[in-house]
Chains A and B, each alone.
Chain A
Amino acid sequence: MNRVVIAAAGIALLAVAAYPLLLRSQGAPPVDAAIKSSWASAAPDWQARLVQDETQKACSQYRNAPPKAVADAILAREKAAIQYPPDGKLMGDWKKGEQLAQSGYGGRFTDYPPRAENGGNCYACHQMDGKELSFGTLGPSLREYGKIRKYAEADVKAVYERIYNPQAAIPCGNMPRLGAAKFLTIEQIRDLVAFVMSPESPVNK
């Protein structure tokens, strides 16, 4: 009995060890090697941007449709990565949020040294203020997002989390993890939450 278990475990271990080799022999392309050689002239701190974390790896592998176990692992890991404001206040200044929603500045190699703070670039993908007609459609419309939800406290928290780390809500969704990636600060995210959830914000007018 014991021998069978050990043999089975051995075979399983072998299978795991051999899996990368198997992939390679089936023609899985040497992507990581190509990535390395194709940005050979980039500075080391910039090359670090090409290294994938676990979530990026899983979403690439499953082409944004992860099986349930993988999706659950992403949800748990990303939820744990959310940081909340020390004072617990999740809403900031919607007017500042509006400016951040308009700005696509930041993070490109032509944006260094920084000439402005990073923007949220929300309008690239979302409809927000009804008067702003230059909006993208990669994400859902956020027209009257707060109003529709009656400005509920639970939704304020959900919006904060969705901006800080959308992977904690939709595994392998398209939206960047603006807070978790430290692209935006907690302060900036609060301003964006206010832009989406404040009754005074043009998003809800």
Chain B
Amino acid sequence: MRIRMSLAVLVATLTLLAAAADTRAQDATEKELERYRQMLKDDPWSNPGLLDADRGEALWNEKRGPKNASLEGCDLGKGAGKVEGAFAELPRYFADADRVMDLESRLVWCMEKLQGFNPTDILKRPYSKANQSGTELEGLATYVASKSRGLKFAPRLEHAKEKEALAMGEALFFRRQGPMDFACATCHADAGRRIRLQSLPFLGKPEEARQVIGEWPAYRVSQGTVMTMQHRIADCYWQMRLPLIDYGSDVTVALTAYLVNQAKGGDIAAPTIKR
């Protein structure tokens, strides 16, 4: 509760700062955020994203769905029920599904196959809106990712489909489309660029990718909720004036494979806290 209250104050402060809309205010905002992040580092238990991770852990262990099963039998790539370190090696090829899956698509797969949930029902509300509490998928994804905290991304590129996903992700990163001709590369293929005052990570460059990819899933202060990589990519495509991309689709998985490969060796810090 205290966390939520102090966050409300922080959000109000940030909003005021943003309203001033000048570069100085932006610097001040960045400084305040940095101070806040430092406070969170000093007291890692104060990140509200951890509440989502906790809820995700409870969901993981709870017997649920038509089959009344927990997710403890879910194989995230390192064996049934092994969560530690699994996120660091995702996306990866899963023989049972005969496709490359990222964390979120694998979670949906396990919920369907082990617990008997209907994917359509699971995906009715995949992303939380501002100031809603995180969805089940967000909680589960945050929990699993948090169990790779402190590890480094170590993408697997053994199976032919893993290699294909990476190549496809790279091609997609440069694919221009839609009424604005945008590709991911339009905004993320150069250093030090901004949209308005929002700085953009140069994801084509491993040094910058390593700094940001491991931050997701992240608790977003402006939204008051956690956001996963799946949601991050869907939002980029929304901004690119394209339709809503399907959850756990081949495109989001391939792009995630590309981004994780760019961030290879980078620290996983999820959940972090962002603007």
Chain A residues proximal to chain B, CB less than 8 Å: 27-31, 34-35, 37-43, 46-47, 49-52, 55-56, 59-60, 63-64, 107-110, 123-125, 133-138, 167, 174, 176-177, 181-183
Residues of A contacting B239 in the complex (Cβ-Cβ under 8 angstroms): 108
| CB-based contact B244/A108 at 8 Å | no
- Which of the residues B23, B175, B183, B194 comes within 8 Å of A136, measured between beta carbons? B194
Pairs of residues from A and B, 8 with the lowest C-beta to C-beta distance, nearest first: A38-B249, A29-B168, A42-B243, A38-B251, A46-B243, A107-B241, A176-B180, A34-B250
Which chain B residues (233-250) contact chain A, with CB distance < 8 Å?
238-239, 241-246, 249-250
- Whether a CB of chain A sits under 8 angstroms from the CB of B268 is no
A37-B250, A124-B195, A134-B22 known; A109 and B175 CB under 8 Å? no
Q: In whole Å, how far is B223's beta carbon from the nearest beta carbon of chain A?
A: 15
| CB-based contact A27/B164 at 8 Å | yes
Instruction: Give Cα distance in the complex from A47 to B244, angstroms.
Output: 10
- Which of the residues A41, A63, A109, A181 comes within 8 Å of B185, measured between beta carbons? A63
- Whether a CB of chain A sits under 8 angstroms from the CB of B167 is yes
Residues of B contacting A49 in the complex (Cβ-Cβ under 8 angstroms): 177-179, 241-243
A60-B183, A135-B196, A136-B194 known; A29 and B254 CB under 8 Å? yes
A-B contacts, 12 of them at CB < 8 A, read A28-B171, A30-B168, A51-B177, A60-B176, A64-B174, A64-B185, A108-B241, A110-B238, A133-B23, A136-B193, A174-B186, A176-B182
| CB-based contact A52/B22 at 8 Å | no
Residues of A contacting B246 in the complex (Cβ-Cβ under 8 angstroms): 37-41
| CB-based contact B179/A29 at 8 Å | no
Chain B residues proximal to chain A, CB less than 8 Å: 21-23, 163-165, 167-168, 171-172, 174-183, 185-187, 190, 192-198, 200, 238-239, 241-246, 249-252, 254
A29-B254, A38-B245, A49-B179 known; A109 and B238 CB under 8 Å? yes
Residues of B contacting A134 in the complex (Cβ-Cβ under 8 angstroms): 21-22, 196-197
| CB-based contact A29/B167 at 8 Å | yes
Q: In whole Å, how far is B247's beta carbon from the nearest beta carbon of chain A?
A: 9
Q: In whole Å, how far is B169's beta carbon from the nearest beta carbon of chain A?
A: 8
Identify the interface centre among B165, B182, B194, B252: most chain A CB within 10 Å of its CB: B194
Instruction: Give Cα distance in the complex from A111 to B192, angstroms.
Output: 30
**Quick one: closest B residue to A132, CB to CB?**
B21
**Quick one: closest B residue to A135, CB to CB?**
B196
Instruction: Give Cα distance in the complex from A181 to B181, angstroms.
Output: 9
Q: In whole Å, how far is A103's beta carbon from the nearest beta carbon of chain B?
A: 12
| CB-based contact A29/B243 at 8 Å | no
| CB-based contact A29/B171 at 8 Å | yes
**Quick one: closest B residue to A58, CB to CB?**
B176
**Quick one: closest B residue to A175, CB to CB?**
B181
Identify the interface centre among B21, B163, B195, B254: most chain A CB within 10 Å of its CB: B195
Instruction: Give Cα distance in the complex from A167 to B180, angstroms.
Output: 12
- Which of the residues B21, B175, B243 comes within 8 Å of A133, measured between beta carbons? B21
Q: In whole Å, how far is B189's beta carbon from the nearest beta carbon of chain A?
A: 8
A38-B250, A60-B183 known; A50 and B178 CB under 8 Å? yes
| CB-based contact B196/A136 at 8 Å | yes
Instruction: Give Cα distance in the complex from A82 to B244, angstroms.
Output: 31
Residues of B contacting A34 in the complex (Cβ-Cβ under 8 angstroms): 168, 172, 249-251, 254
- Which of the residues A30, A43, A136, A183 comes within 8 Å of B179, measured between beta carbons? A183
Identify the interface centre among B181, B185, B193: most chain A CB within 10 Å of its CB: B181
| CB-based contact A38/B252 at 8 Å | yes
- Which of the residues A31, A174, A182 comes within 8 Å of B175, measured between beta carbons? A31
| CB-based contact A56/B181 at 8 Å | yes
- Which of the residues B179, B193, B250 comes within 8 Å of A107, measured between beta carbons? B179
**Quick one: closest A residue to B242, CB to CB?**
A49
Identify the interface centre among B22, B176, B182, B190: most chain A CB within 10 Å of its CB: B176
